[in-house]
């Protein structure tokens, strides 16, 4: 693969995402979320006003785990789907099919990164001016994890679009993926663990963490922001299972890399044998 072939495609994809207002809308949504959560987050306690980074980041993490996969899947599926005349022009150029997919993925990721940086960045600046800087270091980690999650689901959207080819089927698969990883998976794991003995159930739950990138980002976020103590005894057992704090973070990052790379490789392989 040649970077000189990938970059023009990525650049065009970014331009299209910005012109189609996707990036602007998501930046606005992300920014609004940060400010709303920070300002209204303690309303139920009868308090109103900006909270610091610690509380805001923890609340945002839960919301982002729903929102980012959905945004990435929709945006990615829309872009990776076939557009007859456009694809015929593009794929008849002296570039490989993998380079086209890689370029599109890079461009979409750049668009998501722009939206995330602008939205969370501006929101973060407002919080920083209104509150103290306590817990500030956790905020960039949260933004980084959001981006990793976006990349995982962009690559999954690529696989959904390449595998299905048809618009309705591709969006159906994308929504199914979102539902499975964000809603259903944890219920299945909990249900499955009830069928096992306590020790086996623990191992099953810990191992199942690596079967869902959303859970991996959730655990990585909580670990990196608050350390293992946030989970109590379960957290201590998880850290023991993974070999300690450093190893846990490394294993989760490695797992997320695998979750990004495998769908990309599968998409390359599928598209190689397809007719355009």
Using the rule CB under 8 A, give the single segment among 36-44, 55-63, 93-101, 114-122 that binds another protein.
93-101
Give the nearer residue to another protein in terms of CB position, either 6 or 73. Answer: 6
CB-based contact 75:112 (threshold 8 Å): yes
Task: Give the shortest CB-172-to-another protein separation in angstroms.
Answer: 23
First to last CA, the chain: 20
Give the nearer residue to another protein in terms of CB position, either 32 or 83. Answer: 83
The yes or no reply on residue 271 touching another protein (CB under 8 A) is no
CB-based contact 106:99 (threshold 8 Å): no
The yes or no reply on residue 46 touching another protein (CB under 8 A) is no
Give the span between the Cα atoms of 91 and 33, in whole angstroms.
39
The yes or no reply on residue 1 touching another protein (CB under 8 A) is no
The yes or no reply on residue 276 touching another protein (CB under 8 A) is yes
Q: Which of 47, 88, 134, 229 binds another protein (CB under 8 A)?
A: 88
Q: Which of 44, 45, 85, 195 binds another protein (CB under 8 A)?
A: 85
Half-sphere exposure at residue 75, Cβ-oriented, CA atoms within 13 angstroms: 35
The yes or no reply on residue 16 touching another protein (CB under 8 A) is yes
The yes or no reply on residue 25 touching another protein (CB under 8 A) is no
The yes or no reply on residue 89 touching another protein (CB under 8 A) is yes
For 89, 109, 157, the CA distances from 78, given in Å and listed in that order, are 18, 14, 9
Q: Which two tokens stand for residue 274?
A: 């397809």
Using the rule CB under 8 A, give the single segment among 89-97, 132-140, 152-160, 163-171 that binds another protein.
89-97
Q: Which of 46, 94, 191, 232 binds another protein (CB under 8 A)?
A: 94
- Of 180, 27, 24, 182, the C-alpha closest to 117 is 27
Task: Encode 198-227: b = buried (16+ Cβ within 10 Å), e = exposed.
Answer: eeebbeebbebbbebbbbbbbbbbbbbbbe
Using the rule CB under 8 A, give the single segment among 86-94, 112-120, 218-226, 256-264 that binds another protein.
86-94
The yes or no reply on residue 19 touching another protein (CB under 8 A) is yes
CB-based contact 245:228 (threshold 8 Å): yes
- Beta carbons within 8 Å of 31's beta carbon, 6+ residues apart: 118, 119, 120, 122, 123
Task: Give the shortest CB-98-to-another protein separation in angstroms.
Answer: 11
Q: Which of 44, 45, 46, 84 binds another protein (CB under 8 A)?
A: 84
Give the span between the Cα atoms of 217 and 259, in whole angstroms.
12
- Which residues make up the interface to another protein (CB under 8 A)? 4-5, 7-9, 11-12, 15-16, 19-20, 83-89, 91-96, 273-276
């Amino acid at each position: 693969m040649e970077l000189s072939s990938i970059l023009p495609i990525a650049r065009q994809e970014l331009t299209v995402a910005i012109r189609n207002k996707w990036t602007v809308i998501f930046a606005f949504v992300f920014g609004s979320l940060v400010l709303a959560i920070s300002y209204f987050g303690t309303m139920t306690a009868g308090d109103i006003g900006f909270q610091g980074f610690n509380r805001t980041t923890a609340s945002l993490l839960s919301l982002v785990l729903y929102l980012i996969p959905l945004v990435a899947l929709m945006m990615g599926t829309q872009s990776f789907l076939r557009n007859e005349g456009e694809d015929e022009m593009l794929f008849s150029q002296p570039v490989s099919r993998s380079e086209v997919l890689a370029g599109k993925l890079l461009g979409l990721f750049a668009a998501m990164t722009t939206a995330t940086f602008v939205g969370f960045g501006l929101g973060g600046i407002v919080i920083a001016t209104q509150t103290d800087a306590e817990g500030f270091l956790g905020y960039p980690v949260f933004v980084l994890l959001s981006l990793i999650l976006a990349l995982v689901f962009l690559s999954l959207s690529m696989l959904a679009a390449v595998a299905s080819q048809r618009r309705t089927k591709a969006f159906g698969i994308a929504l199914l993926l979102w539902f499975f990883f964000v809603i259903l998976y944890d219920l299945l794991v909990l249900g499955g663990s009830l069928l096992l003995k306590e020790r086996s159930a623990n191992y099953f739950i810990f191992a199942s963490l690596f079967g869902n990138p959303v859970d991996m980002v959730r655990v990585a976020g909580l670990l990196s922001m608050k350390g293992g103590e946030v989970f109590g005894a379960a957290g201590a057992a998880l850290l023991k299972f993974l070999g300690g704090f450093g190893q846990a973070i490394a294993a989760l990052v490695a797992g997320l890399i695998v979750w990004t790379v495998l769908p990309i490789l599968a998409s390359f392989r599928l598209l190689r044998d397809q007719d355009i």
